[in-house]
């Protein structure tokens, strides 16, 4: 497919699990060209470059930022590296799509957002689920007022057995920032905030537990060192009066293998995301309207949106500022769990 727009040259930092999704997205995007990949694991970077036909390989991202002919970069690194590497890339004049969560700490997240603003560069967060057909269809109806005022929401991303042990960093607080809340809960939280129109958070009250992982149970793969939660639950209150209940686990003695839902309740209607359905009470006549939705490849659409936002100098679908809102809520949830108190968000 040819395009009249300028080609955006990109480099990928981190050649692990998620980086492939970015690479396939760039391959599918007629306006993007992958010219470099960097991983501290040289053989992994080389294998990645070979498989995806990327000409240049680096093991030091600073060198890649200096030497490679790139305008943009994908940051596909463990969470604790999102902040420093993204800030370096932005300061080097590159646009950045950084994987979720925005960072492992609010401190780093603030620096990322401020640097993008200072450098006038795009900072997008890898919330690919926003691009799902289900999300886009429901969002359209909600934005047109189908639910009225949304005053209550429930969101969950629960796994019975699903502690990610690969890479050895997911389960270490210092490197990940936390367990399921910051890893998969962040997807449920972001989707809910997005569908609700990003109401401003006021406070959270939360509890986290580490009960299954420390027994050496619930892991995907060989159990590894584990100092994060395996279950996080919390209540988020918003300044507009709305409330959200969030629950997320990597390991839980629950019925079934997993459970995910986003449920919204408004004055004029309620909705669930999967499958996208709207529930109404019209003159005491109850209706459930299931919506059809396009079958799409969310990661490819995400990458195409990143490239388009650079070409057209417009905000991407998932901004750094929005990623920071989720991060503030999640960090407040961890603080609330430790202090056993409601935590107010600034």
Ligand X SMILES: NC(=O)c1ccc[n+]([C@@H]2O[C@H](COP(=O)([O-])OP(=O)(O)OC[C@H]3O[C@@H](n4cnc5c(N)ncnc54)[C@H](O)[C@@H]3O)[C@@H](O)[C@H]2O)c1
Phi, psi of 313 (to 5 degrees): 50, 50
For 164, other C-beta atoms within 10 Å of its C-beta total 21
Q: Which residue, chain included where needed, has tokens 């009960």?
A: 211
User: Does residue number 111 form part of the binding site for ligand X (CB under 6 A)?
Assistant: no
Stretch that binds ligand X, among 9-17, 146-154, 206-214, 232-240 (CB under 6 A): 9-17
Nearest distance from residue 294's CB to ligand X, in Å? 20
Stretch that binds ligand X, among 35-43, 229-237, 314-322, 338-346 (CB under 6 A): 35-43
Residue among 175, 178, 185 at smallest CA distance from 213 = 178
Query: Which C-beta is closer to ligand X: that of 78 or that of 109?
Result: 78
Query: Which C-beta is closer to ligand X: that of 102 or that of 343?
Result: 102
DSSP for 149-200 reads SEEEEEEEEEESB-EE-TTTTTT-HHHHSSSHIIIIIHHHHHHHHHHHT-PP
Nearest distance from residue 120's CB to ligand X, in Å? 25
157 with 129: CB under 8 angstroms?
no
Instruction: State which of residues 126, 162, 213, 270 lies at the interface with ligand X (CB under 6 A).
Output: 126
User: Does residue number 14 form part of the binding site for ligand X (CB under 6 A)?
Assistant: yes
- Side-by-side strand order, sheet with 8-13: 56-58, 32-38, 8-13, 72-75, 95-99, 123-126
Binding residues for ligand X restricted to 65-104, rule: CB under 6 A? 76-79, 81, 99-100
Binding mask 163-202 for ligand X (x = CB under 6 A): ----x---------------x-------------------
343: enclosing H helix or E strand: strand 343-344
Nearest distance from residue 21's CB to ligand X, in Å? 7
Nearest distance from residue 323's CB to ligand X, in Å? 11
- Tell how far CA 318 is from the center of its chain: 9
Residue among 229, 144, 249 at smallest CA distance from 188 = 249
Measured N-to-C along each axis, helices 106-119 and 79-91 cross at an angle, to the nearest 10 degrees, of 20
CA pair distance 238, 106, nearest whole angstrom: 19
Nearest distance from residue 60's CB to ligand X, in Å? 7
Query: Which C-beta is closer to ligand X: that of 10 or that of 76?
Result: 76
User: Does residue number 41 form part of the binding site for ligand X (CB under 6 A)?
Assistant: yes
Find the residue with minimal CB distance to ligand X.
16
Side-chain-side CA neighbours of residue 303 (13 Å): 31
User: Does residue number 38 form part of the binding site for ligand X (CB under 6 A)?
Assistant: yes
Instruction: State which of residues 27, 28, 40, 56 lies at the interface with ligand X (CB under 6 A).
Output: 40
81: enclosing H helix or E strand: helix 79-91
User: Does residue number 18 form part of the binding site for ligand X (CB under 6 A)?
Assistant: yes
User: Does residue number 44 form part of the binding site for ligand X (CB under 6 A)?
Assistant: yes
User: Does residue number 125 form part of the binding site for ligand X (CB under 6 A)?
Assistant: no
User: Does residue number 17 form part of the binding site for ligand X (CB under 6 A)?
Assistant: yes
237 with 127: CB under 8 angstroms?
no
Is the C-alpha dihedral spanning 334, 126, 185, 166 positive or negative?
negative
Nearest distance from residue 270's CB to ligand X, in Å? 27
Query: Which C-beta is closer to ligand X: that of 13 or that of 89?
Result: 13
User: Does residue number 248 form part of the binding site for ligand X (CB under 6 A)?
Assistant: no
User: Does residue number 39 form part of the binding site for ligand X (CB under 6 A)?
Assistant: yes
- Residue ranges that bind ligand X, judged by CB under 6 A: 13-19, 38-41, 44, 61, 76-79, 81, 99-100, 126, 128, 167, 183
């Amino acid at each position: 497919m040819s395009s009249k727009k300028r080609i955006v040259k990109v480099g990928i930092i981190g050649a692990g699990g998620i980086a492939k999704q970015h690479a396939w997205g760039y391959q599918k995007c007629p306006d993007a060209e992958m010219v470099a990949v960097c991983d501290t694991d040289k053989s992994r970077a080389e294998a990645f470059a070979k498989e995806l036909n990327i000409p240049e390989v680096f093991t030091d991202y600073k060198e890649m930022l200096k030497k490679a002919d790139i305008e943009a970069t994908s940051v596909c690194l463990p969470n604790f590296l999102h902040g420093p590497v993204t800030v370096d890339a932005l300061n080097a004049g590159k646009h950045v799509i950084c994987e979720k969560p925005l960072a492992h700490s609010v401190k780093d997240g603030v620096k990322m957002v401020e640097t993008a603003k200072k450098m006038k560069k795009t900072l997008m967060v890898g919330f690919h689920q926003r691009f799902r057909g289900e999300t886009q269809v429901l969002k359209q109806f909600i934005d047109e007022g189908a639910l009225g005022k949304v005053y209550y929401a429930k969101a969950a991303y629960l796994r019975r057995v699903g502690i990610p042990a690969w890479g050895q960093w997911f389960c270490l607080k210092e490197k990940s920032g936390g367990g399921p809340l910051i890893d998969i809960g962040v997807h449920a939280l972001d989707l809910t905030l997005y569908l609700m129109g990003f109401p401003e958070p006021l406070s959270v009250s939360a509890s986290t537990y580490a009960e299954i992982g420390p027994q050496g149970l619930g892991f995907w793969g060989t159990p590894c060192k584990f100092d994060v939660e395996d279950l996080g639950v919390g209540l988020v209150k918003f300044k507009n009066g709305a409330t959200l209940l969030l629950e997320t686990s990597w390991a839980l003695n629950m019925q079934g293998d997993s459970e995910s839902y986003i449920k919204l309740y408004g004055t004029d209607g309620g909705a669930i995301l999967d499958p996208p359905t709207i529930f109404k009470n019209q003159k005491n006549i109850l209706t459930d309207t299931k919506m059809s939705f396009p079958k799409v490849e969310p990661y490819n659409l995400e990458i195409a949106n990143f490239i388009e936002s650079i070409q057209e100098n417009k905000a991407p679908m998932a901004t750094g500022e929005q990623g920071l809102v989720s991060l503030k809520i999640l960090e407040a949830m961890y603080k609330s769990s430790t202090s056993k108190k409601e935590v107010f968000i600034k």
